[in-house]
Amino acid sequence: MPNRTTDRGPDLKLVNLSPAAIDIGSKMHMAAVNPACTDKPVRAFGTFTQDLHELADWFKMCGVTSVAMESTGVYWIPVYEILEQRGFEVILVNARYAKNVPGRKTDLSDAAWLRQLHSYGLLRGSFRPMPRSQRCEPIYASASGSWNMLPPISNICKRL
């Protein structure tokens, strides 16, 4: 029988130096940051707006610049919007791609696992279309005061 080597392949290089990750849930969100920046790198946050602002404050305090989160149902939307407004780069990850690793059964380890994958640049962000209002802004700007054109332009926006 041939000897098996324990060669693990090439070492991965860190792509995101200050990443964070959030495992989105309906009742709480588990967030993970770099263990070097705090003694408690994984914390639970509630789902109310105040809790989400506390989450963003914690990320700022830890020096986070990029956040990966799972796209679970519609629960990710308020988190995404608050973090994006606060200036974070937010990557929305399909849970199917991130959870296909055996042995991880808790939200605590899911958040830490997502953060580790994100630090190596192994997560691909999902497509998120712009909100309707942002898609219509260039159309309204091109009208530039031609009020007789607004009804057809608004019809275009309704179809977007």
**pLDDT tens for the 160 residues of the chain, in order:** 555 555 555 677 888 888 999 999 899 999 999 998 899 999 999 999 999 999 999 999 999 999 999 877 889 999 999 999 999 999 998 877 666 544 555 555 788 888 988 888 888 887 776 665 555 555 555 555 554 555 555 555 555 5
| Domain parsing of the chain, residue ranges | 19-119, 129-160
Please give the pLDDT value at position 150.
52
Q: Identify the DSSP state of 74.
A: T
User: How many other CB atoms sit within 10 Å of the CB of residue 36?
Assistant: 8
Does the pTM of the predicted model rise above 0.75? no
Q: Identify the DSSP state of 31.
A: E
Q: Please state, in angstroms and rounded to a whole number, the distance separating the CA atoms of residues 121 and 140.
A: 38
Which CATH number among 1.20.140.10, 2.40.30.10, 3.30.420.140, 2.40.50.140 corresponds to the domain 19-119?
3.30.420.140
Please give the pLDDT value at position 106.
57
Burial of 107 (C-beta count, 10 Å sphere; 0-12/13-18/19+): middle
β-strand pairing of 19-23 with 66-70: parallel
Q: Identify the DSSP state of 17.
A: S
Please give the pLDDT value at position 54.
97
